[in-house]
Amino acid sequence: MSDHEEHVIDRESGTMGMWLFLFTELFLFGGLFLVYAVFRYMHPAEFHEAGLELDTFVGTLNTVVLLISSMTVAMSITAVQKKNNALALGLLAITTILALVFMVNKYFEWTHKFHLVIYPGSPVLENMERGELLFYGLYFIMTGLHALHVIIGLIVLFFAGYGIMKGTVTSERTLLLENAGLYWHLVDLIWIFLFPLMYLIT
Amino acid sequence: MTQSEKYTHVSYREHQGKYKGIMAWLTTTDHKRIGLMYLFGIAVFFCVAAVLGLLMRIEKIAPGETIMDAATYNGIFTLHGVIMIFIVVIPGIAAVFGNFCLPIMIGAKDVMFPKLNLLSWYIYVIGAILGVLSQFMGDGPPDTGWTFYVPYSAEANSNVVIALTAAFVLGFSSILTGLNFIVTIHRMRAPGMTFFKMPLFPWSLYATAWIQVLATPIVGITLLMVIAERTLHIGFFDPALGGDPLLYQHLFWIYSHPAVYVMILPAMGVVSEIFPTFSQKPVFGYTAIAISSLAIAVVGYFVWGHHMYTSGISYYSRWFFSFLTFIVAVPSAIKVFNWISTMYGGSIELRTPLLYAISFIFLFLIGGFTGLTLGALATNVHVHDTTFVVAHFHYIIFGGMGFAFFAAMHYWFPKMYGRMYNEKVANLAWGFLFVGFNVLYFPLFIIGLQGMPRRYFDYLPKFQTGHVISTIGAFILITGLIIMIANLIRGVRKGAYASANPWKGVTLEWQIESPPTLLNFDKVPEIKHPPYLFKKETEA
């Protein structure tokens, strides 16, 4: 606002604020990971059984997709720093496409589960063992919350790209893009933990 | 002391920005205006919840149904708890006086993220509105109590989801404020102000902000899980859906116990400012007070289990949590000793803020010692879920945080408005509040020990004497509140103009105009001394 035109958020403060926010996000998911750990400890065999049901191939594919998208975001920051805005926008576009690929995979994975009548509150699920019920509950809420973060990340990346086009993100002022990148790495990082816990430890 | 002439500078309250009138406030990014906007919100909700509290007291003046039935009573104590905890006390001092004073006290022009600061206020308002709406929408007011214990909160037919969402949204606001303060303290201190030259109120806000950032997300996800349980039938906590209710209690208290320190730490910071000023003497044990704030924040993270002694946790974890509960009392006691030592040998001026600060110590001591009674395993089992607990946490939260809030209000009032309230009336109001408070809550200790359960709208006739005394106390307390609020409002409108430094304080906020200009400082101050250097010491 006009009263504070001279108020500039320097880069170090901006990233510091972002890191603090990322901590809160980690703690948010940390609560779910804690619940996962407790229930896995209580029902190891049933978690094992239920985990076999998930498609490891799709999970691996999505992991690779997200890892590459993290790389392209990091590259786009370097591109802006080197004043190559066209390349930076291109790399952000690739990131967006990869994120959409991730979401489409996720969509097919979930609809497949729905076909098997596995969704929260479904009759099949309610007749399962307690541990399997909890596993699927955690599966849906954790991947669901993660997918929500992918969408938020996409919106943030969009604003960063818009900033490059409008000239508010420049080689001198990369804060917005850097923070968007940090957020995107968080989305990636959480998936790196979700993937083995859900798909691999069986 | 006071001056008859109106100040001549353009203060933050009169400054003309892009917009005029109410819009100038709703779009402001000025930390002082945002602080005042929090003050208005908190004051309104405090009055609402106080009236609800009074209604509960009237209901309990006689056994059986007096003015409301059991279901209404359950709804009212839930709303009283939700409003007081999430809307009034948790943001409380940090949001109002933290916003107003923190940048000034560290010699900055604003917080680091002014727009985010305004956003936090809007999120707060949305959360507060949701909290109130939950009472009137859907299937009747939530009746779970502010703790939302499952399985009842997962199964109750009342309007729990909106109340949960409200608490979640308010938590988000709290996180953003904490984040803002941490970065502000790290990055915006005036040249020369090292961490250990910072006044103690910013120190307490710093410790508070870390708790807000690190603990609030846990309750956020926990409330989301209960929402998922109610809407999607994903059962984490409801045994009928495969879950474990004890897990809910753990996750809830992992946040909600540190939240108690979010309430009390800024209160301790306020009185740490008031004692040196009204004793005209540097605070005793500056470093000890500063470090004990951090110690409380750290240890306070690991005592949540003392809410669950009777919930069926193992013997060893009960032992562990009880031990840590005793440990966390140590830094609080260090502070109390330091405040009292600060007054020793000082030239004490018994003004309204000091009255509140001294009564803070008195009430906080009673609350603290009864806290140890509850923290000890053997006595806890006896008084668990009785009005003893109710009395204990009201002594801490209202007697502690509430009285410190009033102390801060009377201390920084001349800085906020550039005017003075009538001090005689203010002292009278303090008298009513202090007497009313003790008459209201002390009998609850006694009938609690005798076995009066909490959250009951009805009771056996043998408890009636205690309840009647308590209800009389409630009326005295409300009278005090009315006098205090009326006096403050009159002070804002018609009070005598205050000088820039009416209390002869030495921290930075007293070195600038009352009320401050928009940018607080004409030029960035340079800090060369420790924070509490009064005249006597400078000469020596």
8 Å CB contact between B374 and B389: yes
8 Å CB contact between A35 and B229: no
Query: Is the Cβ pair B242, A130 closer than 8 Å?
Result: yes
pLDDT at res. B1: 47
| B11 contacts in chain A (CB < 8 Å) | none
List, as ranges, residues 175-194 from B with C-beta within 8 Å of A. Answer: 175, 179-180, 182-183, 186-187
CA dist list (Å): A44 to A48, A129, B242, B468: 6, 12, 14, 56
Q: Is B235 on the interface with A (CB under 8 A)?
A: yes
Query: Is the Cβ pair A34, B187 closer than 8 Å?
Result: no
Label residue A2 by pLDDT band (50, 70, 90): very low
| A141 contacts in chain B (CB < 8 Å) | 225, 228, 232, 234
C-alpha A158/C-alpha A184 separation (Å) is 12
Q: Which CATH superfamily is domain A56-200 in?
A: Cytochrome c oxidase, subunit III, four-helix bundle (1.20.120.80)
| B115 contacts in chain A (CB < 8 Å) | 1
| B15 contacts in chain A (CB < 8 Å) | 3
| A28 contacts in chain B (CB < 8 Å) | 217-218, 220-221
Q: Is B214 on the interface with A (CB under 8 A)?
A: yes
pLDDT at res. A117: 84
A48 CA to chain B: closest CA distance, Å?
17
A31 → closest Cβ in B221, B232, B518:
B221
C-alpha A12/C-alpha A18 separation (Å) is 10
| A50's tokens | 């239920």
- Of the candidates B337, B268, A61, which has an alpha carbon nearest to the alpha carbon of residue A69? A61
Residues sharing a CB contact under 8 Å with residue B52, sequence separation 6 or more, in sequence order: B76, B77, B79, B80, B83
A10 CA to chain B: closest CA distance, Å?
9
C-alpha B347/C-alpha A116 separation (Å) is 79
Query: Is the Cβ pair B183, A13 closer than 8 Å?
Result: yes
Structure-token match 């609402």, residue found: B48
Q: Which residue has the higher pLDDT, A165 or B158?
A: A165
List, as ranges, residues 114-133 from B with C-beta within 8 Å of A. Answer: 114-116
B251 CA to chain A: closest CA distance, Å?
8
- Of the candidates B234, B259, B237, which has an alpha carbon nearest to the alpha carbon of residue B248? B237
pLDDT at res. B538: 55
The span from the first CA to the last CA of chain A, in angstroms, equals 55
Q: What is the pLDDT along chain B (540 residues), one digit of tens a residue?
A: 455 677 888 888 888 778 888 888 999 999 999 999 999 999 999 999 999 999 999 999 999 999 999 988 998 999 999 999 999 999 999 999 999 999 999 999 999 999 999 999 999 999 999 988 888 777 778 888 899 998 888 888 888 899 999 999 999 999 999 999 999 999 999 999 999 999 999 999 999 999 999 999 999 999 999 999 888 888 889 887 778 999 999 999 998 999 999 999 999 999 999 999 999 999 999 999 999 999 999 999 999 999 999 998 999 999 999 999 999 999 999 999 999 999 999 999 999 999 999 999 999 999 999 999 999 999 999 999 999 999 999 999 999 999 999 999 999 999 999 999 999 999 999 999 999 999 999 999 999 999 999 999 999 999 999 999 999 999 999 999 999 999 999 999 999 999 999 999 999 999 999 899 999 998 889 998 888 988 765 554
Q: Is B520 on the interface with A (CB under 8 A)?
A: no
pLDDT at res. A159: 95
| B379's tokens | 């006595």
In chain A, helix, strand, coil percent, each to 5? 85, 0, 15
Q: Is B242 on the interface with A (CB under 8 A)?
A: yes
- pLDDT of residue A172 exceeding 70, the answer is yes
Residue type, B481: L
For domain B21-539, give the fold.
Answer: Cytochrome C Oxidase; Chain A (1.20.210)
C-alpha B406/C-alpha B361 separation (Å) is 14
Domain boundaries, chain B: 21-539
**Nearest residue in A to B213, CA atom:** A24
| B215's tokens | 């603990």
Structure-token match 């948010």, residue found: A28
C-alpha A178/C-alpha A157 separation (Å) is 10
Q: Is B234 on the interface with A (CB under 8 A)?
A: yes
B248 CA to chain A: closest CA distance, Å?
9
A31 → closest Cβ in B179, B218, B234:
B218
| B215 contacts in chain A (CB < 8 Å) | 27
B113 → closest Cβ in A17, A25, A31:
A17
8 Å CB contact between B170 and B128: yes
Residues in chain B: 540
Label residue A131 by pLDDT band (50, 70, 90): confident
Q: Is B228 on the interface with A (CB under 8 A)?
A: yes
* DSSP line for B159-215: SHHHHHHHHHHHHHHHHHHHHHHHHHHHH-PPTT--GGGS-HHHHHHHHHHHHHHHH
A contact test, residue of B241, B304, B519 with most A CBs within 10 A: B241
pLDDT at res. A4: 46
C-alpha B511/C-alpha B520 separation (Å) is 10
3-state SS assignment for residue B30: coil
Residues of A at the B interface, defined by Cβ within 8 angstroms = 1-4, 7, 9-10, 12-13, 16-17, 20-21, 23-25, 27-32, 34-35, 38-39, 42, 120-121, 130-131, 133-134, 137-138, 140-141, 145
C-alpha B409/C-alpha B429 separation (Å) is 13
| B397's tokens | 């939260």
Q: Checking DSSP bridges between strand B2-3 and strand B497-498, what pairing results, if any? A: antiparallel
| A142 contacts in chain B (CB < 8 Å) | none
B198 CA to chain A: closest CA distance, Å?
19
A17 CA to chain B: closest CA distance, Å?
6
A contact test, residue of B13, B106, B216, B234 with most A CBs within 10 A: B234
List, as ranges, residues 334-393 from B with C-beta within 8 Å of A. Answer: none
C-alpha B374/C-alpha B368 separation (Å) is 10
In chain B, helix, strand, coil percent, each to 5? 70, 0, 30
| B232 contacts in chain A (CB < 8 Å) | 120-121, 140-141
Cα atoms in the Cβ-side hemisphere of radius 13 Å centred on B441: 24
C-alpha B398/C-alpha B39 separation (Å) is 17
C-alpha A188/C-alpha A167 separation (Å) is 28
Query: Is the Cβ pair B217, A25 closer than 8 Å?
Result: yes
Residues in chain A: 202
| A23 contacts in chain B (CB < 8 Å) | 213-214
8 Å CB contact between B134 and B213: no
Please count the residue pairs, one from chain A and one from chain B, whose beta carbons lie less than 8 angstroms apart. 116
C-alpha B308/C-alpha A113 separation (Å) is 38
Residues sharing a CB contact under 8 Å with residue A77, sequence separation 6 or more, in sequence order: A88, A174, A177, A178, A181
